Chains A and B, each alone.
Chain A
């Protein structure tokens, strides 16, 4: 068969049916308020880490909800756990608590 050099690329689509949502479930069971986010972005607007790095806590959480956790460990390491996000949140969600829970989960998974 003639080879034209074409290859198939990996699909960029989120396959929600096959997504691993176990971390989302763990977070909800330990902290039900996790589900209250309305994605207003106030947390990432006050975030000091977000001004200096590519860190976006809102996006990190959204990615967890979609099972996209490949870069989670690197991303979450950028958080300084200062708690400003928690002060501004209109839904009273504690991102600080969520970050600590994610860290706990990562430690249990990867040591």
Chain B
């Protein structure tokens, strides 16, 4: 690319949204710096084992993204660096870290989400009973091939609770986290694949299988794997004298309260804006909104290359819960918006 070598762009957050937008802007010839709070890139996806809908290996995906960054000398990475402040200054954006202040031409906030803290739903017994784990932990368990720590023998029952920390005003998260329905079905299939003798249940309020292939995965779960779907929101979890979990739910379709025992309960934790996302949201979002994500100009019919503030853009799950596929697409489109923005200011 011709004139852009001198233009500098900061990307705050080294998850997949940050990596993808940096990669695109790097290919467009800009000088890109990724500020990542932790030691490594990859964010939440790096904790994942396999990705829906095609069971791709998450580590491979991160490595592929990483390779595109490493192959470009105009992309630099600042790991273990917290961004304390982002501010507009005339035609530039200043980024403050604990060490120093930098000046950039534009910035992308890709500070993402954190998984919902399941201890806030005390009635589900997370942190109290050993056999209640989160969906994030299940991915880790699968990665380390340690599912047998929780289920063994020739029979047993595993349950997946949808909407933990989502669509729940009691924990101030009224929104739907979008990915948990399909993740629960994906994980239910994975558990059943490894232990075909187990009974696997999904406890759901509504199944939101909105994207391509999701409905057919649901069908596969029913038809091929015999996953049992029970419509109702679990009310509480207890442990009996033998260490079995006893759960209560209304089976809303047969209209009766129900009780059953389980050997393992997986809580499908929703997405909560990360601490940094919440901080930037309160700084830049013009309207206050309850969900604490960054508000983008999300009307359909507006000019696309506007950021949340002059020269400052937001990408990925800092704006709302998204799937991996959606995050990558959004990051690419935001990167292009930055490109258009910088070329406009050139004129």
Residue B154 is within 8 A (CB to CB) of chain A in the complex: no
Q: Which of B242-260 contact A (CB under 8 A)?
A: 248-252, 255-258
Residue A91 is within 8 A (CB to CB) of chain B in the complex: yes
- Beta-carbon nearest neighbor of B250 in chain A: A41
- Whole-angstrom CA separation of A62 from B103 in the bound complex: 59
Residue A88 is within 8 A (CB to CB) of chain B in the complex: yes
Q: How many A-B residue pairs have CB under 8 A?
A: 62
Is the pair A46, B205 in contact by a Cβ cutoff of 8 Å?
no
Q: From the candidates B169, B233, B255, B258, name the one contacting A42 in the complex (CB within 8 A).
A: B233
Of B234, B249, B250, B255, which is in contact with the most chain A CB atoms at under 10 Å from its CB?
A: B250
Contact residue range for chain A? 20 to 34
Q: From the candidates B123, B205, B252, B257, name the one contacting A88 in the complex (CB within 8 A).
A: B123
Q: From the candidates B169, B231, B235, B258, name the one contacting A46 in the complex (CB within 8 A).
A: B235
Is the pair B167, A42 in contact by a Cβ cutoff of 8 Å?
no
Is the pair B257, A51 in contact by a Cβ cutoff of 8 Å?
yes
Is the pair B169, A90 in contact by a Cβ cutoff of 8 Å?
yes
Is the pair A44, B205 in contact by a Cβ cutoff of 8 Å?
no
Is the pair B169, A38 in contact by a Cβ cutoff of 8 Å?
no
Q: From the candidates B163, B167, B170, B249, name the one contacting A41 in the complex (CB within 8 A).
A: B249
How distant is A66 from chain B, measured CB to nearest CB, in Å? 14
- Whole-angstrom CA separation of A43 from B321 in the bound complex: 27
- Whole-angstrom CA separation of A58 from B257 in the bound complex: 11
How distant is A83 from chain B, measured CB to nearest CB, in Å? 14
How distant is A59 from chain B, measured CB to nearest CB, in Å? 5
Is the pair A45, B234 in contact by a Cβ cutoff of 8 Å?
yes
Is the pair A41, B252 in contact by a Cβ cutoff of 8 Å?
yes
Is the pair A40, B255 in contact by a Cβ cutoff of 8 Å?
no
- Whole-angstrom CA separation of A88 from B168 in the bound complex: 10
Is the pair A90, B167 in contact by a Cβ cutoff of 8 Å?
yes
- Whole-angstrom CA separation of A51 from B258 in the bound complex: 9
Q: Which of A55-78 contact B (CB under 8 A)?
A: 56, 58-59
Knowing A90-B169, A92-B169, say if A42 contacts B257 (CB, 8 Å): no
Residue B232 is within 8 A (CB to CB) of chain A in the complex: yes
* B233 cross-chain contacts in A, Cβ below 8 A: 40-42, 45, 90
- Whole-angstrom CA separation of A59 from B253 in the bound complex: 10
Q: From the candidates B163, B167, B169, B232, name the one contacting A45 in the complex (CB within 8 A).
A: B232
- Beta-carbon nearest neighbor of B231 in chain A: A41
* A45 cross-chain contacts in B, Cβ below 8 A: 232-236, 248-250, 257-258
Q: Which of B157-178 contact A (CB under 8 A)?
A: 163, 167-170
Knowing A38-B206, A45-B234, say if A56 contacts B255 (CB, 8 Å): yes
Is the pair B205, A58 in contact by a Cβ cutoff of 8 Å?
no
Residue A21 is within 8 A (CB to CB) of chain B in the complex: no
Q: Which of B39-69 contact A (CB under 8 A)?
A: none
Interface residues, chain A, CB within 8 Å of chain B? 38-47, 50-51, 56, 58-59, 88-92
- List 19 A-B pairs, Cβ < 8 Å: A38-B206, A40-B252, A41-B231, A41-B232, A41-B233, A41-B249, A41-B251, A42-B233, A42-B235, A44-B250, A45-B236, A46-B236, A50-B250, A50-B257, A51-B257, A58-B252, A88-B123, A90-B168, A90-B233
Further 10 A-B residue pairs, CB within 8 A, beyond A38-B206, A43-B250: A40-B232, A41-B249, A44-B252, A45-B234, A45-B248, A45-B257, A46-B248, A50-B250, A58-B250, A88-B123
